[in-house]
Amino acid sequence: MPRPRYVVALFGLAPIAVAGCNTLLGSDVRDEPAVIIFHGDTTAIEAPSLTPTGTSFVVTVQTFGGGCTREVARTDVGTTVPGVVDIYPVNRTRMPREANEGCADDLLELRHSATVHASTPGPLVLRVHGVQRGGVTGSTTGAAVVERTVMVQ
């Protein structure tokens, strides 16, 4: 027995309806590289200074948020060079849809956490990638990198 055509039509439109929900019902959401330098203040990277070979440890990065940026989206981790771990914190910004809505005038610390594995002895550089902001509120003044070294024994 063939399927009713209206069911196929409804399911066919579902992705379009879901994709338009942010615009129709609320705010525009953007995931953006986290601000790690704000008006000269640098993010804090929390990690042990010394760790045994073959162990994993948690790295915590305090990023800057506030205004329409109020939550952590994710924290990406990768390695491209031996002895260096690249950490990419990403924050979520929700822009109001209505012209009369605004964002809070505040500054928040948004904490990102990532687990890192220390596989070989020697220095391990934790390299946090993000953006820096300063000067004019809301302006991004460029890419930024902050580093901390952990000694692996």
Q: Are 43 and 130 in contact (CB under 8 A)?
A: yes
Give the model's pLDDT for residue 135: 57
Q: Where are the alpha helices (DSSP H) in 111-153?
A: none
Helix then strand then coil, in percent of the chain rounded to 5, is 15, 55, 30
Which tens digit of pLDDT belongs to each residue from 19-59? 444 444 455 899 999 999 998 899 999 999 999 999 999 99
